[in-house]
């Protein structure tokens, strides 16, 4: 059972830089060999200004940028070894280019406990809103996690 008082709570902002090398590493791990993710030169040869973000690059912002996330969840009474990932959703609001510095604010937007067949489970919805160095909102990342008791 998690601490219901965390619902609606935002944690202190974190910053993360969008990096070409990180996009390339992610694409390679996924097994996507599209050269646009490999280097600026190859992206430009294909008509892009620079290396575009991989569609799931936001997951790297959250894990590498918000290094306090796990301890924040633990403090809220969430057993992180029991987390199942339920949903993940991105809204790409404006272009993000390599070298941009993003500021993310992590908020727990909803949480409820449900009785299941094998015990109760917590269903927690989190959101990270990202703005760039000009203060423009560029990305919204929403996540639903399920914690089996």
Partner 1 sequence: MTTNAQTPTKVYYEDVQVGDEIPKLVKAPVTHLQLVRYAGASGDFNPLHTDPKIGELIGTGGIIAHGMLIMGFVGQLLSDYVGPTALRKFGVRFRGMTHLDDVITCRGTITEKYETDGVGYIAGKVQATDQNGDLKVSGTFVAELPHRA
Q: Which residue, 4 or 28, is less far from partner 1 as judged by CB?
A: 28
Least Å distance, CB 1 to partner 1, is 20
**Binding positions for partner 1, 21-50, rule CB under 8 A:** 22, 25-26, 28-32, 34, 36, 46-49
Q: Which residue, 1 or 63, is less far from partner 1 as judged by CB?
A: 63
Q: How far apart are the first and last CA of the chain?
A: 7
> Is residue 101 near partner 1 by the rule CB under 8 A?
no
Q: Which residue, 10 or 92, is less far from partner 1 as judged by CB?
A: 92
Show the CA angle centred on residue 65, arms to residues 62 and 71, nearest 5°. 80
From candidates 35, 55, 77, 116, binder to partner 1 by CB under 8 A: 55
* List of residues 6+ apart from 102 with CB closer than 8 A: 15, 16, 17, 18, 61, 65, 96, 130, 131, 132, 138, 139
From candidates 87, 110, 112, 137, binder to partner 1 by CB under 8 A: 87
Q: Which residue, 34 or 101, is less far from partner 1 as judged by CB?
A: 34
Distances (CA, A) of 49 to 31, 35, 97: 23, 14, 9
* List of residues 6+ apart from 109 with CB closer than 8 A: 7, 8, 125, 126, 127, 142
Least Å distance, CB 74 to partner 1, is 13
């Amino acid at each position: 059972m998690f601490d219901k008082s965390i619902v609606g709570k935002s944690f202190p902002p974190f910053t993360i830089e969008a990096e070409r090398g990180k996009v390339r590493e992610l694409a390679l791990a996924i097994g996507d060999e599209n050269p646009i993710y490999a280097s600026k030169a190859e992206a430009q040869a294909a008509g892009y200004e620079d290396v575009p973000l991989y569609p799931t690059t936001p997951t790297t912002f959250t894990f590498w940028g918000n290094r306090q996330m796990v301890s924040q969840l633990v403090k809220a009474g969430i057993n992180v070894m029991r987390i199942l990932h339920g949903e993940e959703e991105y809204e790409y609001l404006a272009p993000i280019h390599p070298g941009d510095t993003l500021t993310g604010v992590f908020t727990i937007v909803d949480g409820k406990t449900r009785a299941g067949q094998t015990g109760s489970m917590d269903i927690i919805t989190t959101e990270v809103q990202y703005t760039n160095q000009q203060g423009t909102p560029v990305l919204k990342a929403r996540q639903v996690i399920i914690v089996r008791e």
